[in-house]
Amino acid sequence: MKFIYFFLINFNSSLVLAYNFKECKNNLGLNFDNILSNAALIDKTFKKKLTSKFKDEFVDIRVDGYHDLYRFCVREKYSVKDLPIMDSKKLYQTYFILKRVFFFTREPGVLSDISLVVSEMLRRENNDKRPIKWTFQAYLSIRDFENAKKLKSKYNYLPLPLVPKIMSIEKLKEDDDSRILYKLVKTKNVLLRESFKFQKEGQIIVIGSPYCNPSRKFVSWLKKNPEIESIFSENAVWLMPQDGHLKLESIRKVNENNKNIAYHYVHNESHWPEIDYWGTPSFYFYKNGNLIDKIIGYSDNGDFEKNMNSLLLKINLTD
C-alpha cells in the first residue's frame, strides 16, 4: 500500500487551541516542554484520510501545525539580544526546534532565525561545524543562493560546495509565484533560471532522480520502449524534488549521457499546487495545462505499461 503525503494550505483554526498554542501565547519566553509536547501532538494527529479518486492517499497537514507552532510558541518568545545570554542547552534546543519547523514549512524567516542561532553557537567556540553545513544546504534548498554565498564567504575555512551562478534571459520578479526552473547549461557551475509554460495538448511532468533506483529502472524500461521514449523526449519535462544537494556536475553528466532526459531543478515546489507528491518516480499527465491523472511509482509488471499507455492516450499523445 502506498501512502502519499502532501500539504494543505488552509488551516482549521479551531485546531489551534487543541494543541495548547494559547498556552504558548501566555508564556513570556520559550517553553521547550510545551513546544515539544505540541510538536509531538502535531506529528501524531495531523494526518487525515483524503476522499479522492486516487486510492490510498492521506493528507498530511503538519505544515500548518508547524506554521502555528512557530507563530505562537517560538517567533515572538525571544529576540536576537536574548541569544548571547541563553545557556548552551537552551540555545541548542532553540536550534533543534527551528530546524524541525523549517523542515515542514521551508519559511525563509525561520532559516534567518536559524542562521542567527548558529552564529551564536559558533561564537562560543563550538567545534561542531555541522550546523553551518546544514544551514548552507537549507539556503540552497529554498534557492536562496545569495545567502548561501554569504554564509560560504563568512565560513570560508569550511569545505562547502560552490554556489552556482544564476543566469536568466527573462525578467523574473523575486516574489513571482510562477513555475520557475533551473536548467543546467554547458558552462560549469552555472544554472539558467527560466519560467515554465505548459505546452498545448498533452504533456508529462516526471518527478525523478538519478539517485533513485526506481527512477533509474524506469529510464532503463523507457529505453527498451522506443515508441514511448520518443513521446517522452518530445513531451516530458523531468523535475527533481527540491532539496539542498544540487550536485551540479553529477546531474550534468547524467543529462549528457541520456540524450532524451534533462533533469531540472525546481525553484519552489509550492508553485506546483496540483503536484501533491514529490516522491520519485512520479508521473503527472496534463492536457492544455490541466492535470488529468497521475502514476505514482514504477513497477516492472504489465500493469505499469498498461496504465502508461492508457494515460498517454488520455492526453492525446498516442492514437
Q: CA dist 46 to 35, 50, 64, Å?
A: 16, 12, 9
Give Cβ neighbours of residue 103 (< 8 Å, ≥ 6 apart): none
d(CA 288, CA 309): 19
Dihedral over alpha carbons 203, 179, 148, 279 (to 10 degrees)? -40
The CATH H-level (homologous superfamily) assignment of domain 169-314 is Glutaredoxin (3.40.30.10)
Q: Which pLDDT value is given to residue 10?
A: 38
Per residue in 190-242, pLDDT tens?
A: 999 999 999 988 999 999 999 999 999 999 999 999 999 999 999 999 999 99
Residue type, 159: P
Task: Give the Cα-Cα-Cα angle 32, 33, 38 (nearest 5 degrees).
Answer: 95
DSSP, res 80? G
pTM of this structure: 0.84
Q: Which pLDDT value is given to residue 42?
A: 86
Average of per-residue pLDDT values in the chain: 86
d(CA 311, CA 316): 9
Is the CA virtual torsion 296, 302, 305, 307 positive or negative?
A: negative
Position 19 pLDDT exceeds 90: no
pLDDT band at 259 (very low <50, low <70, confident <90, very high): confident
- Residue 273 is placed in which grid cell? 499546487
Largest CA distance in the chain: 70
- Residue 231 is placed in which grid cell? 513521446
d(CA 24, CA 291): 41
Question: Domain residue spans in the chain?
Answer: 13-154, 169-314
Per residue in 291-319, pLDDT tens?
A: 999 999 999 888 999 999 999 999 999 88
Position 170 pLDDT exceeds 80: no
Q: Which pLDDT value is given to residue 12?
A: 42
